[in-house]
Amino acid sequence: MADERKGMIYTIFTYAIWGILPIYWKQVGHVASDEILTSRIFWAFWLTLAFIFLIKGGKLLLADIKTLWKSKKSFFTLMLASYLITANWFLYIFAVTNDRIVETSLGYYVNPLVSVLLGVFFLKEKLTPAIKVAFGLAAVGVIIMTASYGTFPWLAFGMAFSFAFYGLIKKTIKLNALRGLALETLFVLPLAIIYYAYLFYTGQAAFLHGSGTTDLLLILSGAATALPLVLFATGAPLIPMYMIGFLQYIAPSLMLIIGVLIYGESFGLIEIISFSLIWCALILFTASKIIQVRATKKDKVKAAA
């Protein structure tokens, strides 16, 4: 029980950090989204690498690289995952810095349902009646929002699908979260360095050309990326999967509150109706998963008896 409590605390902190990160990105909102992303990749790699060597994990990192290189399929699959998570980061940063935090919230609410959908198509998983109803409710919510806005919420679904595909790929490659982040950022690091060189050459870089506060925030963007992943890697193994599934809604809920209450983004009747349908879908989805896990546990206990 002590381990489970510790796992819950670490996991809650993880999702809380992810939930309040829009406030952090707003502080560098005067910097172009592409440079914020470049800084995040560049500094996440070096700070993560430094931390790995600090905890004496350098040999394990080299062993991971050798193992990956032996299996070219795993190597290039992880490379694809790195570009998917980079795309996700860009869409997220772009949305936050362009006053669309509520849409990021929608994206991360919808993400679990998209993950299930990918599981059906790629892993041949079966949908339970409860999850089918949940999909229907979420679809109606999105249709109402789309009809009201006149445009499809592409940012939200871009984030949901890129993260869902990233999660699907990561299921096939077992890597420590911290060392995995170092490898994923390593794949896109050359592009980040080239792009930063281009920004400096053309005089468009904000880094080292503005205030010291901006420079510090851009450097610490790497820590803002790595810290929650370290917490998650520590806490997630200590608690059941259904609990992780339930706690993950902390992040989009905080994003929604921040977007509406702090930054005054629109959240009228249409948004309330749409989000209510999506929330009902998620409650039904989560409840069905909890019931399924408990039923599986009971069957195992009976089989053992």
Task: In whole angstroms, give the CA distance from residue 208 to residue 35.
Answer: 12
pLDDT value for 47: 92
pLDDT value for 274: 92
> Which residues in the chain show pLDDT less than 70?
1, 241-242, 305
**HSE of 205 in the Cβ direction (CA atoms, 13 Å)?**
18
pLDDT value for 305: 65
pLDDT value for 62: 94
pLDDT value for 204: 94
Phi and psi angles of residue 28, each rounded to the nearest 5 degrees, phi first: -115, 25
pLDDT digits (tens, 9 = 90+) for 95-119: 999 999 999 999 999 888 888 888 8
Listed residue (292, 79, 300) closest to 185, CA to CA:
79
Angle between helices 177-201 and 72-97 (to 10 degrees): 60
pLDDT value for 302: 75
Task: In whole angstroms, give the CA distance from residue 37 to residue 86.
Answer: 8
pTM to 2 decimals?
Answer: 0.88
Residues with Cβ within 8 Å of 223's Cβ and at least 6 positions away in sequence, in order, are 43, 47
Task: In whole angstroms, give the CA distance from residue 178 to residue 57.
Answer: 10
